[in-house]
Every structure is written in C-alpha cells, then in structure tokens.
Amino acid sequence: MSRGNPTSSSLTPTDDALIAAIRTGDERALAHLYRLHWPMVSHFVLQNSGSEDDAQDVYQEGVMVFYEKVRDGSLELSCQIKTYLYAVCRRLWLKRLTSKSRFGVRLLDDEEHGPYLNTGAEEDVLAAEEQDRRFNTMSEALNHLGEPCRSLLEGFYLLDKSMQDLTAEFGYTNADNAKNQKYKCLVRLKKLFFAHYKEEPI
C-alpha cells in the first residue's frame, strides 16, 4: 500500500482526494483510509467494553456506510472523514450495547474527535439500517425461492456469471430458454420479496 501522500490525511484537502480516489474504485485508497482510522475506532470500542472482534465488526460496518455513500455520490460531508467515521461507529456501537445491556449505556468518548453530533451520521446510519433490512429480506426471499431459481438468480446477479455459462450449467437447450426461466424466477422472487419487505413494520 504505497500511496503518494499518506501524511496527515485528516485534513480536508486530502480527505477530498481520498474520497475522489475511492469513488473511482481505487482499492488502495480504501485500504489506506481503512488503516488510517482503525486505531481510533478500535480504541473507542475497546474502551467501551467491547472486544477486538466487536471493534472489527463495528468498524467494517461503519466503513461500509461511508463507502456506499461515496460510491453513490450521495455523501455530503460537513466534517472530516475521521469525525464522520467516529460518529457512525459510535452510533453503531451504542446500538449494539443498548440491545445487549439491561442497563442504560453511557459511552466514554475521546474528546479529541470533537463534536460527533450533527455530522449527518445519524441519518446515514438509519438509512444504512433500512438498506440492511432490505438485503436481509432479499436473502430470505432467495432462500425461499427454491431450486433451480435461486441458483440461477444468484449465479446471474450475485456471482456475475454470463447467461451462456448458466445455460451450460443448468442444462438448458439454449440461452433464450435460460433467460425465460430467469424472468419467471424473477417474477416469483418479486412476489416473495415485496410480500416480506412491505409487510414488516418500518
């Protein structure tokens, strides 16, 4: 991981450069960002009665929120990346702690990370939770779909296989047959997905 200028990346100009690089799909930039802020979050979680694994989960979740927003281009950063990540991870860890603990939870904050409120992290975390729920429903729906539909759709959409490969794999006579089968499967998936997804309370 040798980025040109890995020094003091918490400053806004470098933040901008980093975000731009991540948006273009530069994996090294993402890795750099990941390594840069890991100590902060891991320290925070360890300090607030979490384990190393908890820290990793929370941090990956947090970076995921950030990463998806960057890729969408919907990230509106009003503060440094560092502060944003801290706020997101703080929110995520607080949520986990409250669900685990019978008592009220108070977090020990690192003062140096400044005001973690009003960073927009709250809404972003809520949106990410909504997205999570959608993915979970999708995964459920795929599981309920049954074979061969599930393998076919997973192959096409999740594993990125071409129709030709899938035709051969599932033994269809030609690609058109496979495609028709795929569409039928999609219709069934749609019914399952929306039935579950819309029925659940928001």
The residue within the footprint of other proteins, chosen from 11, 46, 126, 168 (CB under 8 A), is: 46
Among 20, 164, 168, 184, binds other proteins (CB under 8 A): 184
Q: Does 139 bind other proteins (CB under 8 A)?
A: yes
Q: Does 133 help bind other proteins (rule: CB under 8 A)? A: no
Q: Which is nearer to other proteins, 114 or 127 (CB)?
A: 127
Give which of 57, 70, 37, 161 is closest to 100, Cα–Cα: 57
Q: Does residue 131 belong to the site contacting other proteins (CB under 8 A)?
A: yes
CA 117, distance to chain mean position in Å, is 21
Sequence-separated (6 or more) residues with CB below 8 Å from residue 25 = none
- Is 60 one of the binding residues for other proteins (CB under 8 A)? yes
Q: Which stretch binds other proteins (CB under 8 A): 7-15, 26-34, 113-121, 143-151?
A: 26-34
Considering only the stretches 2-10, 12-20, 34-42, 167-175, report the one whose residues sit in contact with other proteins under the rule CB under 8 A.
Answer: 34-42
- Contact set with other proteins (CB under 8 A): 1, 27, 30-31, 34-35, 38, 46-47, 49-51, 56, 60, 63-64, 67-68, 71, 131, 134-135, 138-139, 153, 157-158, 160, 179-180, 183-184, 186-187, 189-190, 193-194
